[in-house]
């Protein structure tokens, strides 16, 4: 007899799932019955939040949904933070959990791991949460989840399976096949109207978000044809290479870039929320789009949020961009004029505004990527990440992402980097290593996941920016005339802890030491922690 749990594993294999993250528990062992004999790899984090962050990082580098097996009750409350980050960034994640037996649901009898309504709790951080009331529902609810991942705005999905359903006879479902959904194309009338508007624009501009990543080649050609400067959100970094003359980076929160956006007579926003954390990280308002706004998004609701458009199109970003190109084939590429010259002017203007800490952190990032030019950098909420969001531009998409935008969690980078490295193995990618860029405060949220990295043999490189506390929050408090409280936290011996957990570990104080440490770490089979003391780094640069 094949149980529901065993058939679930077979269906996940059929949908192309190669990796699962989870911590086995008394209420999830039936999910593991079929796992040992499957082709799916399993990684055990040290906390369910780590499982969710690993799944997030895996999805971002592989382009496939990250899958978690999570226990009832505390497992689900633990993973909600990670699901919140994935929800905010539109990352495909499938959290499969157990739940009390059907007769016990909502009973309040004090059962192990019991919650009053687990599904209702998860609904706030998921596109949907579904309770499987019989094994027969399994193929249809999985099809619904993967339809969202394949053809909608991807976000976490939660499927909970009652303990008695997990062991139900599911032989009749062994022949079930996956359902594959094509993404929606672009409405011809809307494409025609948008094309006419863009063709007549004298000062066009493109705002592209993470939802447009797969459209990168077509969007680059569209920008060149229009002569349109391109601003990218943090999750869209790399859609245009760093040297492209039309790239204005991810500096929409800065006054100079806002002035450029205000000059545009037509703005095409594609795959972006136009939200606070990408366009107004000063939290003071001021980002305006006075020109004609055209919006393209896979989510109908999103096309009218924050900044209502003149014209909107619900479609896959790549298909819509290619359709625009076809309609604008008569338009010769604009190699001179407002776009490239105005973008160059902006870059020079911004280069002269960076203060000393920003320049020191930018030099730190430049040093890292000179040694490891093909690296993927997974960031936390820490000062060099904030700086890199403004000053660093990777050569390809999916090479720079972090938790400092959207939901804005701490502790994300370490487990997400583990998942990101595993995600890069999906297509046997031969690129460079995966970096975790994290502060000393953030690392203490998920420090135990260094053991997971050792166990999973993931050769990630942890770049620990140590300023002995919550430096950015301390600065924010001082700027608001608030006496700092709770920000000067105890700083452990990270080198000793990392070595105790099985990692290579060392501290560096100068660019030469950093280069040597990175070159060595890139050839190891396990994780390395490299600690950079902020004050000593800045002193070394001043010498």
Look at residue 537 in the predicted model and tell me its pLDDT: 87
Contact 422, 67 (CB under 8 A): no
Other beta carbons less than 10 A from residue 267's beta carbon: 26
Going by C-alpha positions, the residue among 295, 235, 232, 216 that lies closest to residue 60 is 235
Q: Determine the pLDDT at residue 476.
A: 86
DSSP label at 33?
T
Mean pLDDT of all residues in 432-439: 94
Task: For residues 438-443, give the mean pLDDT.
Answer: 96
> Residue 57 is encoded by which pair of tokens?
């990082």
The phi, psi pair for 434, rounded to 5°, reads -110, 130
* Residue in the block written with tokens 């990082």: 57
Helix then strand count (H, E) for the chain reads: 22, 17
Mean pLDDT for the stretch of residues 237-265:
94
Whether the pLDDT of residue 428 is over 70: the answer is no
- The SS3 assignment for 61 reads helix
- Residue identified by tokens 């011809």 is 188
pLDDT category, 333, cuts 50, 70, 90? confident
Residue carrying structure tokens 């609810």: 141
Q: How many residues does the chain have?
A: 543
Question: Residue 203: CB partners within 8 Å, gap ≥ 6?
Answer: 263, 264, 265, 266, 291, 338, 342
Q: How many Cα atoms occupy the beta-carbon half-sphere of 114 within 13 Å?
A: 14
Q: Cβ neighbours of residue 47 under 8 Å, at least 6 residues apart?
A: 23, 78, 446, 448, 449
Output the CA–CA distances (angstroms, integers) from residue 358 to 274, 277, 282, in the order listed.
25, 19, 16
| Rounded-to-integer distance, Cα 539 and Cα 189, Å | 60
Calculate the alpha carbon distances from 357 to 353, 362, 539 in Å. 12, 8, 11
Q: Which domains does the chain have, with CATH numbers?
A: 4-173 (3.40.50.970), 188-350 (3.40.50.1220), 354-542 (3.40.50.970)
What are the contacts of 255-259 at 24+ separation with CB within 8 A? 255/286, 256/346, 256/349, 256/350, 256/353, 257/231, 257/346, 257/350, 258/286, 258/287, 258/288
Identify the pLDDT of residue 430.
54
pLDDT > 70? residue 272:
yes
Q: Contact 173/7 with Cβ under 8 angstroms? A: yes
Mean pLDDT along residues 292-313 = 95
* pLDDT at residue 332, as a whole number: 77
Q: Whose CA is closest to 260, among 334, 207, 317?
A: 207
pLDDT-based confidence at 535, cuts 50/70/90?
confident
Q: What is the pLDDT of residues 459-493, one digit of tens each?
A: 999 999 999 888 888 888 999 999 999 999 999 99
CB 289 within 8 Å of CB 267: yes
Cross-strand bridge partners of residue 504: 528
pLDDT of residue 105: 80
CA distance 436 to 20: 21
Residue 313: how many other CB atoms lie within 10 Å: 22
How many Cα atoms within 13 Å fall on the side-chain side of residue 214?
Answer: 16
Q: Give the pLDDT confidence of 54-104 residue by residue, as tens digits.
A: 999 999 999 999 999 999 999 999 999 999 999 999 999 999 998 987 887
Q: Look at residue 429 in the predicted model and tell me its pLDDT.
A: 52
- What are 156-186's pLDDT values in tens digits? 999 999 999 999 998 898 888 999 999 999 9
Is pLDDT of 260 > 80?
yes
Mean pLDDT of 251-271: 94
For residue 210, the model assigns a pLDDT of 95
170 near 2, Cβ under 8 Å?
Answer: yes
Q: How far apart are CA 307 and CA 508, in angstroms?
A: 46
In this prediction, residue 102 carries a pLDDT of 84
CB 531 within 8 A of CB 493: no
Confidence of residue 107 (pLDDT cuts 50, 70, 90): confident
Mean pLDDT of 358-387: 95
Specify the pLDDT at position 384.
Answer: 95
User: What whole-number distance in Å separates Cα of residue 165 and Cα of residue 132?
Assistant: 8
């Amino acid at each position: 007899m094949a149980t529901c749990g065993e058939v679930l594993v077979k269906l996940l294999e059929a949908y192309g799932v190669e990796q699962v993250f989870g911590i086995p528990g008394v209420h999830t062992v039936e999910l593991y019955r079929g796992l040992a004999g499957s082709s799916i790899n399993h990684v055990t984090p040290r906390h369910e939040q780590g499982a969710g962050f690993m799944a997030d990082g895996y999805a971002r580098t592989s382009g496939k949904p990250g899958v978690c097996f999570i226990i009832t009750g505390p497992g689900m409350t633990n993973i909600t933070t990670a699901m919140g980050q994935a929800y905010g960034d539109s990352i495909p994640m499938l959290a499969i959990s157990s739940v009390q037996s059907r007769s016990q649901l909502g009973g309040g009898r004090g059962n192990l791991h019991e919650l009053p309504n687990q599904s209702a709790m998860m609904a706030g951080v998921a596109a949907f949460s579904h309770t499987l009331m019989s094994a027969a529902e399994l193929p249809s609810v999985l099809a619904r989840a993967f339809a969202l991942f394949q053809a909608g705005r991807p976000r976490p999905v939660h499927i909970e399976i009652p303990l008695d359903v997990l062991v139900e006879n599911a032989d009749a479902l062994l022949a079930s096949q996956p359902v594959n959904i094509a993404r929606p194309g672009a409405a011809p009338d809307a494409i025609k109207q948008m094309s006419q508007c863009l063709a007549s624009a004298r000062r066009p501009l493109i705002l592209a978000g993470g939802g447009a990543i797969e459209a990168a080649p077509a969007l680059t050609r569209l920008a060149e044809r229009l002569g349109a400067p391109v601003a990218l959100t943090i999750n869209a970094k790399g859609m245009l290479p760093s040297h492209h003359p039309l790239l204005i980076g991810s500096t929409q929160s800065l006054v100079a870039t806002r002035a450029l956006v205000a000059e545009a007579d037509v703005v095409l926003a594609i795959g972006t929320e136009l939200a606070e954390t990408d366009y107004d990280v000063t939290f003071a308002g001021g980002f305006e789009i006075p020109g004609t706004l055209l919006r393209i998004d896979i989510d109908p609701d999103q096309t009218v949020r924050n900044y209502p458009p003149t014209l909107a199109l619900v479609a896959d970003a790549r298909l819509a961009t290619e359709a625009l190109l076809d309609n604008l084939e008569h338009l010769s590429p604009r190699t001179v004029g407002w776009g490239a010259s105005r973008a160059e002017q902006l870059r020079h203007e911004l280069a002269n505004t960076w203060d000393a800490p920003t320049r020191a952190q930018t030099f730190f990032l430049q040093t890292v990527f000179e040694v490891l030019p093909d690296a993927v950098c997974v960031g936390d909420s820490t000062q060099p990440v904030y700086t890199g969001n403004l000053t660093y531009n990777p050569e390809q998409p999916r090479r720079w992402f972090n938790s400092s935008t959207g939901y804005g969690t701490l502790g994300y980078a370490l487990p997400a980097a583990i998942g990101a490295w595993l995600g890069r193995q999906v297509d046997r990618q031969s690129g460079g290593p995966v970096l975790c860029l994290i502060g000393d405060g953030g690392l203490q949220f998920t420090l135990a996941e260094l053991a997971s990295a050792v166990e999973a043999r993931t050769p990630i490189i942890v770049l620990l920016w140590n300023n002995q506390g919550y430096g950015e929050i301390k600065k924010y408090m001082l700027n608001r005339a608030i006496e700092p409280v709770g920000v000067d936290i105890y700083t452990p011996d990270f080198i000793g802890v990392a070595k105790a957990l099985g990692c290579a570990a060392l501290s560096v104080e100068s660019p030469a030491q950093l280069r040597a440490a990175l070159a060595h770490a890139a050839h190891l089979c396990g994780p390395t922690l490299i600690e950079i003391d902020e004050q000593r780094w800045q002193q070394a640069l001043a010498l």
